[in-house]
């Protein structure tokens, strides 16, 4: 039996009074193990203090997770955030160079929610900080007072672009997805192809056209109870298969 591919998850840096912690949600860890058949490896949010090249040389994939924090707007030329907005400069300082290096090395990438936004920004795109306040878009946020099953339950449909990877994985033109985000794509980066669009026109999925390896980004949360959702399972299996292929090449 071949070893499971090692899949890196960049951590958030969060202060849980009074101490700072480096955190990754359990749902992402279990989705890697159960959905991608991989071995999760948490990458601390220490930015360039770490040898990121060495880390990438020893992992077979990169899962860019969601997070309550927003990408800092100076990264994409946005206006300063409203007071009280949660940011995570340490995560930005870790994920941005990691993404650039992973793309250059052909490391498979699956980007979810904040990760979806990070990938768009690294590639030169920009973000709406509050999609729900932009005319023409509906509210894509969850109600934090709801039980988690409701927060992560189906919220709206997305249309999957014909000829795209997600359309092939779903075997359908439209699928219902969850929705737990305030930020969203304002300007889509160059060199990517749209994979999914929400019913209000917001871009919710894309792939990088000339990526050397699997590179897919989605705005929703397929990691949530991944084994219970066939579409989510297919996304993580495709990602895991790409990671396994890299592992096989890396171990030769």
Q: Closest by alpha carbon to 173, among 214, 130, 231, 119?
A: 231
- For residue 18, is the peptide bond before it cis, meaning its omega torsion is within 30 degrees of 0? yes
In contact, 157 and 199? CB cutoff 8 Å: yes
Tokens found for residue 236: 């993580």
Beta-carbon count within 10 A of 72 CB: 18
**φ and ψ at 93, to 5 degrees?**
-70, -20
In contact, 238 and 165? CB cutoff 8 Å: yes
Active site residues: 113, 221, 223
CA 227, CA 73: separation in Å to the nearest integer?
35
Give whole-number Cα distances, 153 to 3, 87, 176, 178, in Å: 34, 26, 9, 5
In contact, 22 and 42? CB cutoff 8 Å: yes
CA 24, CA 6: separation in Å to the nearest integer?
16
Contacts of 82 (CB under 8 A, 6+ apart): 129, 130
């Amino acid at each position: 039996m071949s070893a499971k591919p090692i899949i890196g998850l960049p951590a958030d840096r969060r202060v849980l009074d009074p101490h700072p912690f480096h955190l990754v949600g359990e749902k992402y860890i279990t989705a890697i193990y159960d959905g991608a058949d991989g071995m999760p490896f948490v990458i601390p949010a220490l930015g360039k203090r770490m040898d990121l090249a060495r880390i990438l040389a020893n992992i077979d994939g990169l899962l860019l997770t969601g997070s309550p924090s927003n990408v800092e707007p100076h990264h994409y030329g946005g206006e300063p955030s409203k007071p009280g907005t949660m940011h995570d400069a340490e995560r930005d300082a870790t994920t941005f160079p990691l993404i650039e290096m992973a793309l250059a090395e052909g490391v498979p990438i699956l980007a979810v929610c904040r990760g979806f936004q990070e990938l768009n920004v690294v590639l030169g795109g920009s973000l709406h900080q509050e999609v729900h306040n932009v005319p023409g878009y509906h509210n894509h946020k969850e109600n934090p007072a709801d039980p988690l099953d409701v927060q992560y339950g189906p919220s709206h449909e997305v249309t999957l672009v014909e000829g795209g990877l997600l359309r092939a994985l779903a075997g359908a033109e439209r699928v219902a997805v969850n929705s737990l985000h305030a930020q969203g794509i304002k300007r889509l980066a160059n060199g990517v192809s749209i994979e999914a669009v929400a019913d209000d026109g917001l871009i919710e999925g894309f792939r990088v056209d000339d990526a050397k390896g699997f590179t897919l980004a989605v705005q929703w949360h397929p990691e949530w109870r991944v084994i219970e959702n066939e579409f989510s399972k297919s996304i993580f299996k495709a990602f895991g298969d790409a990671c396994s292929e890299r592992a096989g090449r890396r171990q030769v």
